[in-house]
Amino acid sequence: MNLNTIGKSFRMVEDVFSGKRITNLILTILSPILFLLASGIPATLINILIGFTIFNINPFLKSNAENTNFNLISMIINTGFVILAVFLWVKFYEKRNLKTLGFYKKNAFNKYLIGFFFGFLMLALSALIIVITCDVEITPGTLTFSRMFPFLLVILAWLIQGASEEILLRGFMLPILSKRFGIWTGILGNSIIFAALHLLNPGIAPLAILNLILFGIFASLYTIYSGSLWGACALHSAWNFTQGNIFGFLVSGTHASGDIVMFINYKSNNLINGGTFGPEGGLTVSLLLILASILLIKLIKKNESNK
């Protein structure tokens, strides 16, 4: 299998030069940190204002860490401002159309739904394998019928959070690196940086880092295969939502905010279930991501050979 021909007709790469400027290499590599810093200042100020005025809490106190609605709104604000920062940079510095980040209109809704389905499916398969192979206890979650409406806030928060990481890494960084150095440098480069952004997460371990890189590769390949960013945004959101709020797993070492459908509790931590990092730290996810990536490579090559 010749991997060098992957992505030869990837539209997002060609669209990098559709504006008046292209972000230089150093800024591209540092862009996740720079965008997070730039967006973090206004987001923090708004979070403080909302905390004191609407929720009547002090956001700086640890005792308020369990205020679910505030946490979800903070997540929406924090990640929403990351998206805004990228959009402003692309629009006013690079002076290119925002659709060149991968938001093409053709079949956008269908691609989003399909991506969401595959994100759910992959985590459901991971959960099934863990239940079969590991010693777990399944208990009812906190979600009740009366809590269905607030649960929509959980879904919205994950939709925006997943999109923010995909826009930053696969929408912005992947095409620029790919245009300058080739598609595989773009894929590996954004995937390594994606993993680096999670190095301070609780429960981080070598296998978890490897899986984060594998997820970045998988998401990049999915973006190339689908020809847009819609599917990858949905897949990432569904992945986190299903992991944290459907099955009650840790999401990259952290507990999900909001109600949970069920809890799959580990009676012991091991390499299969990912331990204190959640499934993303285990061999189950490693296997699924590798198999899915191989399948995507074959599908991409098949599509490109037919063009």
Please give the share of the chain, as a percent, with pLDDT higher than 70: 95
Distance CA 111, CA 90 (A): 23
Closest CA to 274 of 121, 117, 127: 127
Looking at residue 58, what is its pLDDT? 74
Q: In whole angstroms, how large is the CA radius of gyration of the chain?
A: 19
Distance CA 68, CA 79 (A): 17
Looking at residue 149, what is its pLDDT? 86
Pull the structure tokens for residue 282: 């285990």
Query: What's the whole-model pTM score?
Result: 0.94
For the stretch 179-201, pLDDT in tens is: 999 999 999 999 999 999 999 99
Looking at residue 243, what is its pLDDT? 98
What is the mean pLDDT of the segment spanning 237-259? Answer: 97
287: pLDDT strictly greater than 80: yes
Query: Residue 32 — pLDDT band, cuts 50, 70, 90?
Result: very high
Q: Cα angle vertex 239, ends 218, 256, to 5°?
A: 135
Please give the share of the chain, as a percent, with pLDDT higher than 90: 85
Looking at residue 51, what is its pLDDT? 86
Query: Residue 244 — pLDDT band, cuts 50, 70, 90?
Result: very high
Looking at residue 64, what is its pLDDT? 56
Distance CA 199, CA 170 (A): 19
Distance CA 94, CA 174 (A): 16
306: pLDDT strictly greater than 90: no
Cα–Cα separations (whole angstroms), residue 79 to 90, 133, 247, 305 = 17, 35, 23, 38
Distance CA 271, CA 258 (A): 27
Distance CA 167, CA 174 (A): 10
Of 146-155, 241-250, 280-289, least confident by mean pLDDT is 146-155
Q: Is-contact 252 128, C-beta < 8 A?
A: no
2: pLDDT strictly greater than 60: no
The DSSP bridge pattern shows strands 262-266 and 136-140 to be: antiparallel
Q: Is the dihedral of CA 161, 162, 164, 169 positive or negative?
A: positive
The single-letter code of the amino acid at 224 is I
For the stretch 42-98, pLDDT in tens is: 999 999 899 888 888 777 665 555 688 888 999 999 999 999 999 999 999 999 999
Distance CA 193, CA 290 (A): 19
Return mean pLDDT, the chain: 94
Helix (H) or strand (E) holding 262: strand 262-266
What residues pair up with 265 in beta bridges, in sequence order? 137
Looking at residue 72, what is its pLDDT? 93
Looking at residue 210, what is its pLDDT? 98
Distance CA 234, CA 231 (A): 5
Query: Residue 3 — pLDDT band, cuts 50, 70, 90?
Result: low
Distance CA 76, CA 27 (A): 25
57: helix, strand or coil? coil
For the stretch 90-149, pLDDT in tens is: 999 999 999 999 999 999 999 999 999 999 999 999 999 999 999 999 999 999 988 888
